[in-house]
Amino acid sequence: MRIPLSRSMFMPADVSHIIQHPQGKALAALQVAQGMLKKGVRPKIIDELSNLVQVLLKDQGPSRHAVDDFAAYLATLPEAEQEAFDGLRVPAKDSHFDIKFDTTIGEAVKDAQANRVCSHKTGDFLSQAMKHLRNWSDSANPGQMGSPT
């Protein structure tokens, strides 16, 4: 959860008070939903995301094809996994300007595909998202990283 004006994260104690308030019950459900979305991301998908990031951070020309290929790959995934990518938010910030990204993985891919965001900025966000997903996957499934599920 972020403070709307500064975009910085709330302290854990503040989050606890917010979700315990009657008007904050819906936010508690959103937190649970984000946790469930993480479970919908397999290591194979993270590897495909890693391949996309490598291309995005290198060259503009091949980036267009790589984004299109990744979007086509996402379209072949089961609906639950597509929803995970479309709705999953990860903590990340722009490496150059130190501004927090406020997008989902799916939105970032769509923005890159539509050329609304440059490939390097998308690569910056997706590389942080990939690391976050790998760290989560490693802690959730110790000893199973890299094995297809």
Residues 105 and 115 grouped into a single domain: yes
Mean pLDDT, residues 37-46: 67
The answer to the question of residue 75 being in a domain is yes
State whether 17 and 67 are in the same domain. Answer: no
Specify whether 24 is located in the same domain as 59: no
What are 16's two structure tokens?
């606890």
Whether 135 and 86 share a structural domain: yes
Q: From CA 54, how far away is CA 56, in angstroms rounded?
A: 6
pLDDT at 78: 81
Q: Does any domain span residue 147?
A: no
Which whole number is the average pLDDT over 114-123?
Answer: 86
Asked if residue 20 and residue 85 are part of one domain, the reply reads no
59 occurs within a structural domain:
yes
What is the pLDDT averaged over residues 98-126?
86
CA distance 149 to 144: 9
> 97 and 53 share a domain?
yes
**Token digits of residue 104:** 């989902």
Do 76 and 131 share a structural domain? yes
Structural domain span for residue 105? 41-140
Q: Are residues 86 and 124 in the same domain?
A: yes
The answer to whether the pTM exceeds 0.85 is no
Same domain membership, residue 74 and residue 34: no
